[in-house]
Structure formats: C-alpha cells, structure tokens
Amino acid sequence: MSKKVLVIGEAREGSLRNVTFEAIATASIISDGGEVVGVICGTDNLEEMGQEMIYYGADRVITVANEDLKTYTSDGYGQAIQAVINDESPEGIVMGHTSIGKDLTPKLASRLESGLISDVTEVTEDGGSVVFTRPIYSGKAFEKKEIIEGLVFVTIRPNNIPVGTRDDSRMGEVTQKSVDIRNIRTVIRDVIRKSSDGVDLSEAKVIVAGGRGVKSEEGFEPLEQLSEVLGGTVGASRGACDAGYCDYSLQIGQTGKVVTPDLYIACGISGAIQHLAGMSNSKVIVAINKDPEANIFNVADYGIVGDLFDVVPKLIEEIKQM
Ligand code: FAD
C-alpha cells in the first residue's frame, strides 16, 4: 500500500551528508510508490540542498529556515520537525542513525506515541511487506522487523543502504515552511571538530584503525600515512584512546562510533567484542597483528601476522607504486 514518508535531511557545513541519500532510498522502498517528502532545517543553502534531495529521489522538499536551527539542538529541531509532521501526517519518517538521529527520533517517537526501528542495516521487500534488519547484542545477532500499523520512525546506519542514482532531470517543488521556535534550553556557542582531516568516521569509505599495539601517539604516524595514500581516515580502539595515544573522538566500538567502511584495516587491535561491535559490518576487514591467536583474525577477510611497524610502511610503499 502506498505511503507518504518523510526523510529528515542532515547537513554539515552547507552540504548534505551521504546518509540523507541512503534515507531517501529507504523511504522510496517504504513508500511503495507513494510520496517521499524531504525535510531540511537550518539557515544556509537550504534551497540547493532541497534540490539535491529531489535529484536523489525525493518527490518534494520542505525547508525550515530559522536562526535557531543554525546548529542542531533537540529542542529546536524537535519543534521544527514536529510542525512538519503535524502538517503532513506521514506514515513513516526516515533519517540517519547518526548522533542527531539517535537523539531526535526517540524523543519525537515518544512524544507522538509512535514506533521506532533504529540502526537499520538492510531494507528488503518480502511478499508485499518491507523487512528491516538491525543488529542486536552488539552485532552478535540480527533481528528482522516489519511495520504492522501506525506512524513509525526508522533510523538507518550510515554506509549500508545503496543510494539511488543522482538524476538532475528530476523535478520537484522545494517549499519553505516557517516555524515559530520557542524555549530552546541549549545554546551552542561554538563547534570544535576533533577529527584529524574532517572526514566523518561514520561515513568514511576507508578506515585505518590503531590499537594499543601502536604503543604511542607517534605510533599513529604510519597509520595516518597509510590512510592518506588510501584516501581514508584514522580510527582507534578504546585501548589506544585510554592509553592517551589518540583522541576519544576516534574511538570505534560499542561505546564509540559504529562504522561500516568498504575497507577497515585494524593495526595492533586484539579484537575485543566491544571493538567488533563497532566495525564487524565493514565490507572488507584487514587485520595486522603480531599475535596469530588474536581474536581480530576471526572477523578479518585478510590477516597479516607481523609487526605493524614493519608491515604498514611496506603496504604504503606497495600502494604508492600501484
Ligand atoms: P589490546 O587488547 O591490548 O590489544 C593490543 C593488540 O596489539 C594485541 O592483540 C597485540 O598482539 C597487538 N600488538 C602489540 N604490538 C604489536 C605490533 N607491534 N604489531 C602488531 N600487533 C601488535 N573497546 C573498543 O575498542 N571500543 C569500544 O567501544 C569499547 N567499549 C567498551 C565498553 C565496555 C563496557 C567495556 C568493558 C570495554 C570496552 N572496550 C571497548 C574495551 C575492550 O574490551 C578492549 O579492552 C579494547 O578494545 C582493547 O583495545 P586494543 O585491542 O587496542 O588493546
């Protein structure tokens, strides 16, 4: 049955994050030929981003411009999105399982007494119903869910759902909605990004991650060089963060970021279950560890038993010659 589905777009520095396009692809499946309506809040570039959402499959887009939406606060965005939901009465709402999606959707779902299927990694159609797959027990098992009735929020894990082809001949209306936002209890004074090169770990295609085996802050240098030649970014285990070798913003795992790059290179990481919870869905995993019994080899597609300080420079040389 065709449905109207909203997609909450997410932007960073005036450009849409890739997960927005994955959310549009998901909404297209849920809508079953119904209407996919994009929503984008903020202050800058809203018209252009709305147009971009249409090129990727939205039928129309609603922009909410307001100085109070310049940076995300759950009060501000909650009021703006709820106003759009009240106007549109959608049957589904999709957004990324990002820090914003994780904060906003439970709040709105409970306020609207609706369902929430979070952290979806796969969306399939099965005999007329849409099936959502999501990891449970820190990635040790997967469960499948269907929407039986009513409004449901869906958050999708970045880098898992295939994005539709961009088609700049697609037409659709981008309209503005004004929302009176009140009583914001949080004021964001400044945003300081800790990421080394600006690439968002959760959307990176290549991650070179270091563990306690890198032994020091300087030990991350060869990993940074490897990530540079591969066009990726650097991540870390909690062991490396706890030891003070790198910033906690790089931590991957159960209590860090969940990543699904095309290529994950784990250097000097033992493969504790809490680390695997954040990276075991990566498409190709390469492990470099001097202990042949290390648990990381149980999830790796390719394993190199050796000292990372020998192996990583050799990899860099080989890749440079390709
Ligand atoms: P270690 O376990 O010390 O492993 C270091 C590895 O490096 C070893 O396998 C060793 O053989 C190898 N090595 C050493 N020298 C070299 C070398 N020169 N060359 C190659 N290999 C070398 N951890 C996370 O990562 N993320 C999380 O989100 C997280 N959340 C947690 C939540 C809870 C509630 C708890 C209890 C723990 C959590 N942990 C998390 C911690 C986790 O249990 C492990 O302690 C941690 O992942 C270990 O980090 P590590 O693999 O870098 O270090």
DSSP codes joined into one string, 279-303: HTT-SEEEEEES-TT-GGGGT-SEE
Q: How confident is the model at residue 294 (pLDDT cuts 50, 70, 90)?
A: very high
Q: Please state, in angstroms and rounded to a whole number, the distance separating the CA atoms of residues 155 and 19.
A: 10
Closest residue by Cα to atom 2, ligand 1, is 270
* Cβ atoms 20, 10 nearer than 8 A: yes
Q: What would the mean pLDDT of 107-132 be, rounded to a whole number?
A: 94
Tell me: pLDDT of 314 over 90: yes
Q: What would the mean pLDDT of 60-82 be, rounded to a whole number?
A: 96
Q: Please state, in angstroms and rounded to a whole number, the distance separating the CA atoms of residues 225 and 238.
A: 21
* Cβ atoms 242, 214 nearer than 8 A: no
DSSP 20-46: HHHHHHHHHHHHTTSEEEEEEEESSSH
138 CA distance to ligand 1 middle (Å): 16
Closest residue by Cα to atom 37, ligand 1, is 274
Q: What pLDDT is attached to residue 198?
A: 56
Q: How confident is the model at residue 194 (pLDDT cuts 50, 70, 90)?
A: low
What is this structure's pTM?
0.82
Share above pLDDT 70 across residues of the chain, in percent, rounded to a whole number: 98
Amino acid at position 314, single letter: K
State whether the beta carbon of 280 lies less than 6 angstroms from ligand 1: no
Q: How confident is the model at residue 231 (pLDDT cuts 50, 70, 90)?
A: very high
Could you tell me which residue, 310 or 191, shows the higher pLDDT?
A: 310
- Give tens-digit pLDDT for 143-179: 999 999 999 999 999 989 999 999 999 999 999 999 9
Tell me: pLDDT of 251 over 90: yes
Q: What pLDDT is attached to residue 302?
A: 98
DSSP, collapsed to helix, strand or coil, labels residue 142 as: strand
Q: Please state, in angstroms and rounded to a whole number, the distance separating the CA atoms of residues 30 and 36.
A: 9
Share above pLDDT 90 across residues of the chain, in percent, rounded to a whole number: 88
Closest CA to 52 of 73, 86, 23: 23
- Give tens-digit pLDDT for 9-38: 999 888 999 999 999 999 999 999 999 999
Q: Please state, in angstroms and rounded to a whole number, the distance separating the CA atoms of residues 49 and 16.
A: 6
Longest dimension (CA), the chain: 61
Q: How confident is the model at residue 293 (pLDDT cuts 50, 70, 90)?
A: very high
Q: What pLDDT is attached to residue 189?
A: 87
Q: How many residues does the chain have?
A: 322
State whether the beta carbon of 254 lies less than 6 angstroms from ligand 1: yes
Q: What mean pLDDT is reported for the chain?
A: 94
Q: Please state, in angstroms and rounded to a whole number, the distance separating the CA atoms of residues 13 and 2.
A: 34
Q: What pLDDT is attached to residue 140?
A: 82
- Helices within the chain (DSSP H only): 18-31, 46-55, 74-88, 99-111, 221-229, 238-242, 273-279, 308-321
Among 80-94, 193-207, 230-244, which stretch is predicted with the lowest mean pLDDT?
Answer: 193-207
Q: What pLDDT is attached to residue 288?
A: 98
Tell me: pLDDT of 252 over 90: yes
Strand 152-156 relative to strand 35-42, pairing: unpaired
Q: How confident is the model at residue 234 (pLDDT cuts 50, 70, 90)?
A: very high
136 CA distance to ligand 1 middle (Å): 21
State whether the beta carbon of 272 lies less than 6 angstroms from ligand 1: yes
- The CA radius of gyration of the chain, in Å to the nearest whole number, is 21
CA distances from 88 to 5, 36, 39, 46, 231 (A): 9, 11, 11, 19, 41
The tokens describing 255, both together, are: 């209590």
Q: What would the mean pLDDT of 230-239 be, rounded to a whole number?
A: 96
| Mutation pick for ligand 1 pocket among 249, 274, 280 (CB with most ligand atoms within 8 Å) | 274
* Cβ atoms 83, 120 nearer than 8 A: no
Q: What would the mean pLDDT of 115-139 be, rounded to a whole number?
A: 92
The tokens describing 164, both together, are: 């539709």
284 CA distance to ligand 1 middle (Å): 20
Q: Please state, in angstroms and rounded to a whole number, the distance separating the CA atoms of residues 86 and 211.
A: 47
Q: How confident is the model at residue 246 (pLDDT cuts 50, 70, 90)?
A: very high
Closest residue by Cα to atom 45, ligand 1, is 239
Q: What would the mean pLDDT of 56-66 be, rounded to a whole number?
A: 98
Q: What pLDDT is attached to residue 192?
A: 79
Q: What pLDDT is attached to residue 144?
A: 97
50 CA distance to ligand 1 middle (Å): 42
Q: How confident is the model at residue 203 (pLDDT cuts 50, 70, 90)?
A: confident
